[in-house]
Amino acid sequence: MNPDTPSLTERAPSLDRDGRAAYRVPSTDWSVSTAVVEAVAEVADRDPLAENFVLYDAIDPDALDCIFADHGNEASRTSGRVVFDFQGCRVEVHADGDLVVFEPSDSEDVRRSSAQSV
Q: Which residues of the chain have pLDDT under 70?
A: 1-5, 71-78, 107-118
Q: Using an 8 Å Cβ cutoff, are 92 and 63 in contact?
A: no
Closest CA to 25 of 49, 48, 6: 6
Write out pLDDT tens, residues 46-57.
999 999 999 999
Q: What is the pLDDT of residue 6?
A: 74
* Displacement of CA 91 from its chain's centroid (Å): 4
Cα Rg of the chain (Å, integer): 14
**Side chain identity at 91, as an amino acid letter?**
V
Q: What is the pLDDT of residue 55?
A: 96
DSSP run (H or E) holding 40? helix 32-44
Question: End-to-end distance of the chain based on CA atoms, in angstroms?
Answer: 30
CA–CA gap between residue 78 and residue 59 (Å, rounded): 22
**Side chain identity at 112, as an amino acid letter?**
R
CA–CA gap between residue 79 and residue 108 (Å, rounded): 29
Other CB atoms within 10 A of residue 59 CB: 24
Q: What is the pLDDT of residue 1?
A: 47
